[in-house]
Amino acid sequence: MQKNLARYVALRETKMLETVIIIVHLVVAIGVVGFVLIQQGKGADAGASFGSGASGTVFGSQGSSNFLSRFTAVLAAVFFATSLGLAFYAKDRANTITQLGLPDPAVLEVKPQEQEVLRDIPQVESQASEATEADVPVVDVE
């Protein structure tokens, strides 16, 4: 009984941790998209080098490129780590299913359903019925 209880608690903690990783993964993914969209392209820096008023901005004369690019890199690293974590949990769940004795879906054989062959659809030679005299066209020769 105590062994089953410990197994249940461990399974519940694992499920909770997996849920936390999924939430962090989604927040980081949205953050990466947002920070990539906020960043300026390489061509936008050319105007700032000629004194176009960038020195009075919040991030200083160099602009926000250092802060945004570094923070985007950190978010990308966290996204990569959460992806690996989710892959680990998916593998663990697949191993649990096989240990329970359930068959692997890739191994299951699906039988094709027998369908009635319609008359107006061309048939393969092995399924075609024998031709009768009514099937052969008649040519009138004068």
Query: pLDDT tens across 60-79, in order?
Result: 555 556 888 899 999 999 99
Instruction: Count each helix (H run) and each strand (E run) in the chain, helices first.
Output: 3, 0
Segment 5-63, tens digit of pLDDT: 666 666 677 788 889 999 999 999 999 999 999 887 766 555 555 655 554 455 555 55
Question: pTM for the complete prediction?
Answer: 0.53
Q: Cβ-count burial of 125 within 10 angstroms (0-12 exposed, 13-18 middle, 19+ buried)?
A: exposed
